[in-house]
Structure 1
């Protein structure tokens, strides 16, 4: 990687962070203009009651989704399980990171989180009462292999067996994610995802899980948001392992993609009758203005945000413009071996898409804010982006079945004196995104299911417990669960199979 490219990647990260930080001050001029023109973008969370009809359905009646549509919710192991040192669980990089002073807001850790490890039966009953048809969760790799390899921990396997059995007993389809960022610390000590061997260890761990639960889990997801590991963990440094090294970042990207492909092959070798695919967070990228420079910069930005992951998995090649930008001497380019891309492109059965925000790219390669932001200052609220990214995937990569595995909004939720949580803004947000997804289905996108992020309030990584994303309020001192207004609303959506 050239020094120029290294500096550009770091500047891009800094520009994105600056733009997101400025968004808290209020609407940009473009947003204000959009609002004046009748924009349907939301203004974030608002505790006032919503009295408007569903955005896309108001003029044409109710919106009904296809029969059997998989309404669900999602979580991840480190964010909800707790029990960090129980029943043979090893240490993960997030244990190390969160216990390092200054790394997380208020010094928060996932040691207890939402205590799901002990309260899973109660949480399963909540899912049943909501009417969930699908539940997407992740397995803690260090709970299965404390050091990231070797003989599995039976107590860890038993926990996930109980969870999966409980889902089946309640008529909820399990959707299991193998890796949601909690790499065993022992593997990090040996080089982590910079070490090609970690991809091999991941395939072995995946095979352990396929052997244990393969006949009980209909859908497997391999790597959750490899881009977030690359960007947040190795470019910006505000996620574990907390590095700021662009050259290492894209070497990590290749090894994550390789790990995905090896896991797909491991499932096929087992002969398990289940479906498998990756979970990618995709950001539609738009030029910030009408200049040729912005259009060119947007194309490259899209390469780093989306095509690097989509093209390698679904087309068997890394995008040429990204490779050229990284340069022939980059660690990533030098790390690709003969046969790697064939492994990465091992045929998958579905694509999990996670949508949170669009990106608007300037001619200089930075980003600007165009829409109101949520409490997560990086998140611009733009439901149309959901439609754009879903239709783009189908247009560019064919009719691969799609599941939405994350989409949601953090709100300043509070438990009122009457024991309720009125998160009207989250209802507005979800309604508009559901409508955008419905329009995508109508226009030919083979969308099968939709998982709201998140089922429970939880440990939100570097933000600790500051942000609440759940449909269910968690009172952390007591671990009491309370269905928010959005949960009651979502139950009706599921019952009616639409808006």
Structure 2
């Protein structure tokens, strides 16, 4: 029997976001964000035509849901504030939103569940998107004002804040692919979005610290290790460039306070540098994060470019190609590679290259479509595949912590099956299964496993 024990104060819980869980109801005074608008104008893009209007109905069922969290021993929970709910016009606070978020925060604290509140999770208010969104440098001031209102209203009780969740995703999916609005492919605009997002994060951190609150503020990044196909110089360089574009472009300025010089030179070489904001270097340097959230799902497998590229319509993939490891394990339902050791490699990278900053796993999960196939006679989803997925990742995390990784928690994605952008409810991730027809929740086998995990503060396996 092998024992995997975690520290007494380790954070166990799950993550969610406003747009993916709250829904909207008459009289809530929430304004449109880009997802509301996109679904209204192009509902056919969304899986089975399911949009963000109801999602998991957390807006109305949060009290019962928090009790469900408590029932499976959560001691922490991350969600986000909806910018378009709190500040519908960008200037005036919505009292309905204040009441809702106050109740959520208070109920979590009463249940001894630590709230971790994120400010931005892919949900740009539409009235700001119409002015350019992250492409417009005015967004830095607008985001700082929004953050200030959130800190002022909730900072007395919320002790852990994050500025962004996965800021590379709106860049990659909205400006280098067509999976997020505005769904354009334009590397120059993508660089501007990334730059303004990073400055907005730093400005929000500055705003938080100016209030002298007794909490901490960080950022959540999806760190995807880039592994070269071979030890050849070309493959290693290609993996290094992928890491620069997709990991270090946000990791370095967030933790070290500066961009990698090699990345800046590469962007400049291809005439992609954005118009500089005054005092940007000083702002980044003075406002690094207190802690880091790490979302990890799968690795990135990289090889050197096989074809000559004239660098027309440049994207990060102009510098490398992807490949599939022939020995890979695949989640057949989601199509993603399962590589648990990636979690260990991330931990060692943070330890060795990023001051061993305090960090936690802010998302880890296994999406599965058609989970109704695994419902037993008692109506429970027997998701042993998900339990195995989590245990194998926790083993590698445990090893990393034994070797000095400064990790303080593990959050899954997610608590109740969430609505997920264009995929809607195609892939399920939750400890509770959501019935879309009547909004009822039913615990899965993994939920009972998690309850025992937290109570034991670890797990045992026969190996």
After TM superposition, the score normalised by the length of structure 2 is 0.92
Please state if 1:372 is matched with 2:314: no
| Partner SS, residue 379 of structure 2 | coil
Please state if 1:268 is matched with 2:225: no
Corresponding residue to 1:305 among 239, 243, 246: 246
Identify the residue that residue 133 of structure 2 maps to in structure 1: 192
User: Residues 360 and 327 from structure 1, CA distance in 2 versus in 1: closer, same or farther, beyond 3 angstroms?
Assistant: same
Identify the residue that residue 104 of structure 1 maps to in structure 2: 46
**Residues 365-404 of structure 1 correspond to what in structure 2 (within 5 A)?**
365-370=320-325, 371-374=328-331, 377=334, 379-404=336-361
Please state if 1:460 is matched with 2:420: yes
Please state if 1:179 is matched with 2:137: no
Measured in 2, the distance between the counterparts of 1:182 and 1:204 equals: 16
Corresponding residue to 1:207 among 148, 154, 157: 148
Cα distance, 1:376 vs. partner? 6.5
Measured in 1, the distance between the counterparts of 2:452 and 2:377 equals: 25
Please state if 1:127 is matched with 2:69: yes
Corresponding residue to 1:337 among 260, 277, 283: 277
Q: Which runs of 4+ in 1 moved over 6 A?
A: none
Cα distance, 1:440 vs. partner? 1.0
| Partner SS, residue 465 of structure 1 | coil
Work out whether residues 291 and 363 of structure 1, in 8 Å CA contact, stay in contact via their aligned partners in 2: no
Measured in 2, the distance between the counterparts of 1:81 and 1:139 equals: 10
Cα distance, 1:429 vs. partner? 0.3
Measured in 1, the distance between the counterparts of 2:177 and 2:333 equals: 16
| Partner SS, residue 450 of structure 1 | strand
Measured in 2, the distance between the counterparts of 1:390 and 1:407 equals: 14
Measured in 1, the distance between the counterparts of 2:143 and 2:424 equals: 27
Question: Residue deviations 1:92-123, cap 9 Å, x none?
Answer: 00111233144222222111001110000110
Work out whether residues 433 and 441 of structure 2, in 8 Å CA contact, stay in contact via their aligned partners in 1: yes
Work out whether residues 343 and 393 of structure 2, in 8 Å CA contact, stay in contact via their aligned partners in 1: yes
Cα RMSD for the two superposed structures: 1.5
**Residues 443-458 of structure 1 correspond to what in structure 2 (within 5 A)?**
443-458=403-418
Question: Residue deviations 1:306-335, cap 9 Å, x none?
Answer: 11111112222212222232225645x232
Work out whether residues 70 and 134 of structure 1, in 8 Å CA contact, stay in contact via their aligned partners in 2: yes
Cα distance, 1:374 vs. partner? 2.4
Cα distance, 1:84 vs. partner? 5.9
Structure 1 runs not aligned, ≥5 long: 1-57
Work out whether residues 256 and 288 of structure 2, in 8 Å CA contact, stay in contact via their aligned partners in 1: no
Work out whether residues 202 and 283 of structure 2, in 8 Å CA contact, stay in contact via their aligned partners in 1: yes
Identify the residue that residue 29 of structure 1 maps to in structure 2: none
Question: Residue deviations 1:67-92, cap 9 Å, x none?
Answer: 11111111111111111664110000
User: Residues 416 and 476 from structure 1, CA distance in 2 versus in 1: closer, same or farther, beyond 3 angstroms?
Assistant: farther
Corresponding residue to 1:88 among 15, 29, 32: 29
Work out whether residues 74 and 135 of structure 1, in 8 Å CA contact, stay in contact via their aligned partners in 2: yes
| Partner SS, residue 361 of structure 2 | strand
Work out whether residues 75 and 114 of structure 2, in 8 Å CA contact, stay in contact via their aligned partners in 1: yes
**Residues 50-61 of structure 1 correspond to what in structure 2 (within 5 A)?**
58=1, 61=2
**Residues 26-65 of structure 1 correspond to what in structure 2 (within 5 A)?**
58=1, 61-65=2-6
Q: What number of residue pairs does the alignment pair up? A: 438
